[in-house]
Amino acid sequence: MMEEEEKQKQSQEIDSSSLQENSQEMSQNGPSLPAAAPTSVSTQSFTSLLPKALSAVLYPTGRSSDPQQSRSPASLEQVQSELRELRDQFHQMKRQHNNEIKLLMSELDEEKRIRLTIQMEMQRMKKHMSK
């Protein structure tokens, strides 16, 4: 159990350092999409953490026949705390995803309006040219 926790901490440190590097690169190079880029970077780090953490919680090594007897109250509290953190992260990712979808929908609507305006202008110009 301790080895898994150490591996998790190491992977979290690696993910957080890569997240910091990505955010530094983005601040230097500028984001390609204003609001979509930062959320996709943080989502990638969350998605890389979730399967490892969930598998550690769901399938701990050295499991006995009675799971409640194999865990001490301290480790049970720790698992519950990790579960709360994962739920919070999940809800945060869900909110970010919904916000990103709303943003993309509004950008799409704006692009549609621009396309229609250009089409109408082209038709007007064609009519004017044919006269």
Query: How many structural domains are present in the chain?
Result: 1
Residue 78 in domain = yes
Kindly state the average pLDDT of the residues 57-78.
67
**pLDDT digits 0-9 by tens, 29-40:** 544 444 444 444
Q: Find the range with the poorest average confidence among 27-31, 51-55, 111-115.
A: 27-31
Of residues 112 and 70, more confidence is placed in: 112
Residue 125 in domain = yes
Residue 11 in domain = no
Q: Which domain holds residue 122?
A: 73-130
Residue 122 in domain = yes
pLDDT at 15: 59
Of the pLDDT bands very low, low, confident and very high (cuts 50, 70, 90), residue 74 is confident
Write out the DSSP string of 43-102. HHHHHHHHHHHHHHHHS-SS--SSHHHHS-HHHHHHHHHHHHHHHHHHHHHHHHHHHHHH
Residue 38 in domain = no
- Calculate the average pLDDT of the chain: 74
